[in-house]
Amino acid sequence: MQALRMLLRTWRGGQLNLMIWSLVLAVAVVTSVSLLAERIERALTAESSSFLAADLVVRSSKSIDPEWIARAQNQQVQSAQVLTFASMVYHQEDMHLASIKAVESNYPLKGLLRRTTTPFTTDPSLIEEIDYGPAQGEVWVDGRLLPLLNIELGDEIELGEIRLKATQIVVEEPDSGGSYGAFGARVLMNVSDIEAAGIIVPGSRVTYRYLMAEGASGSDGFTNYSEWIKTQLDVHDRLITPDEAQASIANTMDKGRRFLLLAGSIGVVLAGIALALASHHFASGQTQQVALLKSWGIAANRVRSLYIQQSLWLGVGGSIVGLLVGFGFSELLIAVVREWLPISLPMAGARPWITGLATGLLCLAGFTLPALWHLPAQSPLAVLRQDVQVKPVSSAVRGLFGVAAVAGLLFWYSNNIYLSLAILAGFAVTALATIVIGLMLLRVAKTYGQKLGSIWRLASSNLWRRRSQSIIQMIGFSGAIALLMIMTVVRTSLIDEWRWQLADDAPNHFLLNVAPYELDGVRNLVTEQKLETAGWYSMVRGRLTQINGQGITEEQRDKHESFRRELNLSWTAELPEGNKLTAGKWWDELDLSGDIAPVSLEEELAGELGLSIGDQLTFSVGGLIFKARVTSTRSLNWDNMTPNFYFLFPEGMLENYPRTNMTSLYIPPQQKLLVNDLLRKYPTVQVIELDKIIDRIRTIVSQVTSGLEVMTLLILSCGVLVMFAAVSLSMSERLQESAILRTLGSSRRLILGIQWVEFSVLGIMAGLLAAIGAEAAVALLQRFMFDLPFSWHPWLWLVGPLAGGLLVGVLGVGYSRKAVTQPPLQVLNSL
């Protein structure tokens, strides 16, 4: 308890503030992001316990074999069919491309549906949990469909040929795994209405799910049945177990959580630097106290134990406050990104809190303990002689401990040694670049400062003399400012740049799922409006089943999505516009008469799938098998918004398989009603409105980056702490200089002026470094994420240095104002 008492007294004396805040911020940054990630993950995983709405599911692209259902009935196993597809729904003039789910009345077999009659409510007392789906003639709809179609519960909506009454709002489905990413509002209907609606035609993009659960025959009966089902599956079917469903969500979320934590680690590194500086400063203030304790006969071991205990109390206390601040920030983050999150987020488990606490304690071990380690070795003789002072652990060794702590934390967050090392190397390169450029800037400032007035001369030589502190402050601020600028650029301009690079008349609508017998009608409708399409393409959906005679392995399926899903196969005589042959030969140079069809692959996909020219592929289209040989690879232009295909065949090869047609076209806003006419006449046609999708992406990106900006504010606070800690180190020197200057007759204005120039110049340099960093990061994002040509962001180069100069100037002068306000005599006496 003595250690705690000593710590509390030291804290009361204000000597621990910087250390505590550094610790609090490091813990808060990590806790806030890991709480957010954990709560979203829990929301998704909680659902996955009943995620399948069954014990076992077969997902297929073809309709369920009636024999399966008959056998399930015979063997007293529960079963149900679920169909999902996109289709337009209407109410008078309003329409929406809804995400339709047709279920049998015994759906869900496992888990519960949650429904309400109060739109957008989160009040549990208004939400009903039930284990059956809508009756024939009824639909239960997503709350957001009501405003979209301008309807109320009780109104009828049109779906294909029929009208269905919207009677309930569906709040949650047990198996709505995809709902968070779905663009269309959910419409839940009874499967027996499907036929009358006439919305499913051969070739329609429908996902069939066959749900199975234990019935009257018990677990043995179910096991027998599921073993039998496994023997019935073909390449179009995929068996999904609850474990698998959970594993896939857990895997995705785990990646997300790691990404957020690694982003947060920038804050931890900055807070760590601040903590190391503050601890070093604290330790230098403790040497006299330790000498005194030892002169009283307190043994070195007892001193060490006292300081370790104090550090532990500090670590635990600071971490607890950090956890609370982190919780507050996670609530703020959730509020910002509310719209695209699941309605209710469960509370987090222990993991984020443990991660936060571990961060605090590891920071303490890496940054504070090394700074205090030498204290017990202080000689008691120091109470009599100032020259007898113990040497602190060398900065190199302390630096190593810090790096080890950061490495440990990175590994904890990422659970991947290579990723941790790569990020560590990234930090090191960034720091090195900051040091080199920072030193060059300081040198330039010193050279030119000498030629200016006395204020500039003194300020620039101060900056140079204390260059290691100046550089540390630059690292702290430039890192934080750069992050903030990157977020802002992404949120405000990158998405716009991406949109603007499209030509004004670039296609803004895709028409999909046009059946062969509808093609002429749709074509005429478009021509009547004097609109031009980017050309019509036919496509057949098929699955890749073999490569060079070898079946697709589990490993390959795990590796690439294209091995798991149906692929769109198309054909053309000419190389489409925007396509370039990168290897092999086009049809005109090939002999097309053989049994094996030639196929041209998109270059990147071929690389990802490990396919090269000459490889023989086997496809299954609705159970019909055919073979093809890779004869060429192509590069595509994705920016022209015309249909692009990964797999292209020559004409005459696929025409006999069930097919649908697609095109893209530009519909001017004044002719938008065409979409209405088209969909009324051809309800199975799918229209993708790119404008709306781009807007939706923009909203999501904007919200995510706003959320990240909240986090960046925390990181900026870490940068501020680095500065305060660095200024604290030189505070007594600053006080002494200022006192001497004032004793020599310098005015307060001069001293204040020196401080203003010193800190503002430092801030301008940090802002400049931040602009360099932000521009480089944005260039990488443009190149690799948005596929945009490089463009300058001149405002970064203006706002960065200006904001940096102002921020660092105000904070620095504010923090070191003591140097001006304290009477010189008092300062000199205390030295």
Partner 1 sequence: MIEVSNISKQVTTTEGTLTILDGINLSLAAGETLAIVGPSGSGKSTLLGILAGLDTPSSGTVSLNGKDITRMDEEGRAAVRAETVGFVFQSFHLLPGLTALENVALPLELKGDNEALKTAAYYLQRVGLDHRTSHYPRQLSGGEQQRVAVARAFACRPMILFADEPTGNLDTGTGEKINDLLFELNKEEGTTLVLVTHEHNLAARCGQRLVIAAGQQVDEGSAA
Cα radius of gyration (the chain): 34
Per CB under 8 A, which region of 294-302, 483-491, 544-552, 588-596 contacts partner 1? 294-302
CB of 176 to partner 1, least distance (A): 58
CB of 378 to partner 1, least distance (A): 11
- DSSP string for residues in 784-825: HTS-------HHHHHHHHHHHHHHHHHHHHHHTTHHHHS-HH
Token pair belonging to 312:
């532990």
Per CB under 8 A, which region of 63-71, 299-307, 350-358, 597-605 contacts partner 1? 299-307
Nearer to partner 1, 198 or 823 (CB): 823
Per CB under 8 A, which region of 9-17, 18-26, 144-152, 200-208 contacts partner 1? 9-17
CB of 286 to partner 1, least distance (A): 10
299 binds partner 1 (CB under 8 A): yes
Q: Which of 684, 642, 665 is nearest to 529 (CA)?
A: 665
- DSSP string for residues in 355-375: HHHHHHHHHIIIIIHHHHTTG
Nearer to partner 1, 295 or 736 (CB): 295
DSSP code for 108: -
Structural contact between residues 567 and 544, judged by C-beta atoms closer than 8 angstroms? yes
| Burial class for 140, CB neighbours closer than 10 Å (0-12, 13-18, 19+) | buried
Q: Which of 54, 166, 268, 293 binds partner 1 (CB under 8 A)?
A: 293
814 binds partner 1 (CB under 8 A): no
Nearer to partner 1, 300 or 653 (CB): 300
2 binds partner 1 (CB under 8 A): yes
- Whole-Å CA distances, 807 to 464, 711, 731, 756, 799: 20, 18, 19, 11, 11
Q: Where are the alpha helices (DSSP H) in 142-235?
A: 145-149, 194-197, 218-232
Nearer to partner 1, 10 or 738 (CB): 10
Nearer to partner 1, 468 or 830 (CB): 830
Token pair belonging to 60:
């297929």
Q: Which of 425, 498, 423 is nearest to 783 (CA)?
A: 498
Token pair belonging to 551:
């079946």
Nearer to partner 1, 524 or 830 (CB): 830
349-380 per-residue burial string, b: 16 or more CB within 10 A, e: under 16: eeebbebbbbbbbbbbbbbbbbbbbbbbebbb
Which residue spans within 267-356 are E strands per DSSP? none
- Contact letters for partner 1, residues 303-342 (x by CB under 8 A): ----------------------------------------
- Contact letters for partner 1, residues 517-536 (x by CB under 8 A): --------------------
Query: How far is Cα 539 from Cα 660, in angstroms, rounded to an integer?
Result: 6
Q: Which of 207, 213, 206, 208 is nearest to 241 (CA)?
A: 213
539-577 per-residue burial string, b: 16 or more CB within 10 A, e: under 16: bbbbbbbbbeeeebeeebeeeeebbebbbbbbbbeebbe
Nearer to partner 1, 250 or 300 (CB): 300
Per CB under 8 A, which region of 105-113, 298-306, 464-472, 678-686 contacts partner 1? 298-306
Nearer to partner 1, 383 or 690 (CB): 383
The tokens 């309807």 sit on which residue?
151
CB of 309 to partner 1, least distance (A): 13
CB of 303 to partner 1, least distance (A): 10
Nearer to partner 1, 66 or 297 (CB): 297
Per CB under 8 A, which region of 12-20, 176-184, 557-565, 668-676 contacts partner 1? 12-20
Per CB under 8 A, which region of 172-180, 192-200, 284-292, 761-769 contacts partner 1? 284-292
**Nearest 5°: phi and psi at 689?**
-90, 105
Q: Please list, in sequence order, all residues whose beta carbon lies within 8 angstroms of the beta carbon of residue 741, skipping any fewer than 6 positions away.
A: 750, 751
Q: Which of 590, 588, 658 is nearest to 630 (CA)?
A: 590
Query: How far is Cα 23 from Cα 33, in angstroms, rounded to an integer?
Result: 16
168 binds partner 1 (CB under 8 A): no
- Whole-Å CA distances, 370 to 277, 282, 310, 394, 801: 11, 12, 14, 9, 35
818 binds partner 1 (CB under 8 A): no
Nearer to partner 1, 383 or 828 (CB): 383
694 binds partner 1 (CB under 8 A): no
822 binds partner 1 (CB under 8 A): no
Q: Which of 75, 217, 295, 640 binds partner 1 (CB under 8 A)?
A: 295
418 binds partner 1 (CB under 8 A): no
CB of 388 to partner 1, least distance (A): 9
| Burial class for 229, CB neighbours closer than 10 Å (0-12, 13-18, 19+) | buried
Per CB under 8 A, which region of 77-85, 239-247, 295-303, 545-553 contacts partner 1? 295-303
The tokens 């009361």 sit on which residue?
12
Nearer to partner 1, 296 or 517 (CB): 296
Nearer to partner 1, 289 or 546 (CB): 289
The tokens 């006449």 sit on which residue?
681
- Contact letters for partner 1, residues 595-634 (x by CB under 8 A): ----------------------------------------
Per CB under 8 A, which region of 290-298, 489-497, 528-536, 701-709 contacts partner 1? 290-298
DSSP code for 340: G
247 binds partner 1 (CB under 8 A): no
Residues binding partner 1: number (CB under 8 A): 26
Nearer to partner 1, 289 or 501 (CB): 289
Token pair belonging to 154:
């009780």
Q: Which of 263, 292, 581, 653 binds partner 1 (CB under 8 A)?
A: 292
- Whole-Å CA distances, 124 to 127, 131, 167: 5, 17, 19
CB of 821 to partner 1, least distance (A): 15
Query: How far is Cα 423 from Cα 414, in angstroms, rounded to an integer?
Result: 10
Per CB under 8 A, which region of 11-19, 47-55, 330-338, 515-523 contacts partner 1? 11-19
Q: Which of 66, 297, 549, 789 binds partner 1 (CB under 8 A)?
A: 297
Residues numbered 354 to 393 that lie near partner 1 (CB under 8 A) are: 379-381, 383-385
Q: Please list, in sequence order, all residues whose beta carbon lies within 8 angstroms of the beta carbon of residue 343, skipping any fewer than 6 positions away.
A: 122, 171, 172
Q: Which of 9, 255, 338, 585 binds partner 1 (CB under 8 A)?
A: 9
Q: Which of 46, 135, 298, 320 binds partner 1 (CB under 8 A)?
A: 298
Q: Provide the pairing of β-strand 56-60 with 78-91.
A: unpaired
Determine the straight-line distance between the first and last CA of the chain, rounded to whole angstroms. Answer: 33
Q: Which of 508, 552, 512 is nearest to 531 (CA)?
A: 508
CB of 2 to partner 1, least distance (A): 6
289 binds partner 1 (CB under 8 A): yes
Residues in the chain: 831
Q: Which of 125, 216, 231, 296 binds partner 1 (CB under 8 A)?
A: 296
294 binds partner 1 (CB under 8 A): yes
CB of 301 to partner 1, least distance (A): 8
CB of 380 to partner 1, least distance (A): 5
Query: How far is Cα 699 from Cα 11, in angstroms, rounded to an integer?
Result: 45
Question: Which one-letter amino acid corresponds to residue 291?
Answer: A
Q: Which of 106, 248, 288, 640 binds partner 1 (CB under 8 A)?
A: 288
Structural contact between residues 279 and 367, judged by C-beta atoms closer than 8 angstroms? yes
CB of 730 to partner 1, least distance (A): 19
Can you give the binding site for partner 1, defined by CB under 8 A?
2, 5, 9-10, 12-15, 288-289, 292-300, 302, 379-381, 383-385
